[in-house]
């Protein structure tokens, strides 16, 4: 397995130079409205940061025409910027225009194009007097590998690897190889080519705390019992959340010098597909939904109902596999 890995991008994220100013977002009926800042978006969803509810993930096709036009304009401006900044090389794989920087526990940083969560196999072997990883000499790999390799080897082989000499000695003890080590975590396409996978436990504390819940959901979705479309939806959602966190943390560091991961813990998808109003039913309710399986994420559905009990029934009918959470009235 060589370092020229297959590109695994299933969607393109919209590149936003900075988190936009707060604006009002609404569904197509106009009954649901929320004020928040645009953080990130992909082809299907948009992430909005609000003061009261943290991060909301809204379906673009359920938003008002004005909101959809706003997002289309943002995406158009972003595409023009990308077209002028990147060369047109037919031999270069299509890459998402999302540069992200991730901080490691030793204070180093790794920057690359965000792929999402993923798994990568590192194949180690001795070639003459050199250690090679996926057919690339150890000294030619990005510096981040110097931290990833010891972590992976120590965890799997239960040995201590403190420097390249220890790594060589370990390979001698086990033979010339090849030895395979699988790592999982945040995957980045590197500027110099190839891809790197950053295990969660080598990320700086706030980064690790913020992305770990999404990583655990992603891992759970890889189970063979999970349907392929649900696995794909989970991967897309978690990638969008990774992009959102990276944007917020970069801005947080730039403005305050500190990382703030609290908003990520409150992220949830909102379904604004309001049911048709019946005679005499005028109130709009927001119902929290709690998943019964570990690979799904908290969801909120907005429904018409006469009272909270009716809202609970409406939400249960639409999402039979979910537990009902908090309910609150949106219309007055």
Going by pLDDT thresholds of 50, 70 and 90, the confidence category of residue 4 is very low
What integer pLDDT is reported at residue 191 of this predicted model?
Answer: 84
What mean pLDDT do residues 154-175 have? 80
Reference 94, options 174, 27, 12; nearest CA is: 12
**Overall size of the chain counted in residues:** 332
> Which tens digits make up the pLDDT trace of 271-290?
887 766 666 667 889 999 99
Residue 92 has pLDDT above 50, yes or no: no
> Which tens digits make up the pLDDT trace of 113-131?
999 999 999 888 877 777 7
pLDDT above 90 coverage of the chain, percent: 30
pLDDT, the chain, mean: 80
Going by pLDDT thresholds of 50, 70 and 90, the confidence category of residue 327 is very high
Going by pLDDT thresholds of 50, 70 and 90, the confidence category of residue 176 is low
Contact 108, 144 (CB under 8 A): yes
Alpha helices in 182-227 (DSSP H): 205-221
Residue 138 has pLDDT above 50, yes or no: yes
Reference 196, options 265, 261, 141, 125; nearest CA is: 141
Q: Is the dihedral of CA 266, 267, 271, 272 positive or negative?
A: positive
Cα 198 from Cα 203, distance rounded (Å): 7
Indicate the range of 31-35, 55-59, 191-195, 308-312 predicted with least confidence.
191-195
CB atoms under 10 Å from CB of 139, counted, come to 10
Return the structure tokens found at 305. 């109902």
Residue 243 has pLDDT above 50, yes or no: yes
Contact 192, 142 (CB under 8 A): yes
According to DSSP, the β-strands at 45-50 and 54-59 are antiparallel
- The angle that helices 228-256 and 205-221 make with each other, rounded to 10 degrees, is 170
What mean pLDDT do residues 90-104 have? 58
Reference 201, options 189, 191, 188, 215; nearest CA is: 215
């Amino acid at each position: 397995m060589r370092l020229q890995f297959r590109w695994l991008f299933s969607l393109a994220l919209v590149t936003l130079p900075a988190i936009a100013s707060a604006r009002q977002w609404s569904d197509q009926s106009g009954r649901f409205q929320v004020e928040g800042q645009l953080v990130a978006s992909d082809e299907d969803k948009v992430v909005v940061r609000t003061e009261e509810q943290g991060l909301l993930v809204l379906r673009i096709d359920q938003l008002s025409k004005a909101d959809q036009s706003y997002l289309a304009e943002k995406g158009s401006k972003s595409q023009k910027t990308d077209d002028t900044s990147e060369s047109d090389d037919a031999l270069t794989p299509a890459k998402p225009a999302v540069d992200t920087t991730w901080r490691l526990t030793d204070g180093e940083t790794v920057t690359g194009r965000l792929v999402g969560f993923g798994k990568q196999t590192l194949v180690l072997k001795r070639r003459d007097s050199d250690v090679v990883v996926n057919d690339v000499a150890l000294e030619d790999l990005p510096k981040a590998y110097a931290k990833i390799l010891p972590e992976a080897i120590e965890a799997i082989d239960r040995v201590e690897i403190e420097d390249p000499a220890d790594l060589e000695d370990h390979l001698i003890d086990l033979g010339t190889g090849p030895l395979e080590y699988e790592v999982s975590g945040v995957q980045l396409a590197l500027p110099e080519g190839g891809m790197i996978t950053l295990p969660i436990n080598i990320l700086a504390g706030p980064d690790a705390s913020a992305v770990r819940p999404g990583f655990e959901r992603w891992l759970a979705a890889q189970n063979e019992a999970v349907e392929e479309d649900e696995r794909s939806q989970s991967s897309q959602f978690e990638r969008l959340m990774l992009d959102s966190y990276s944007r917020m943390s970069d801005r947080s560091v730039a403005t305050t010098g500190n990382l703030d991961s609290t908003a990520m813990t409150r992220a949830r998808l909102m379904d604004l597909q309001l049911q048709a109003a019946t005679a005499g039913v005028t109130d709009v309710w927001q119902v929290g939904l709690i998943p019964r399986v570990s690979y799904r994420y908290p969801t909120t559905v907005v429904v018409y109902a006469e009272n909270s009990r009716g809202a609970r029934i409406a939400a249960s009918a639409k999402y039979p596999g979910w537990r009902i959470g908090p309910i609150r009235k949106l219309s007055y």
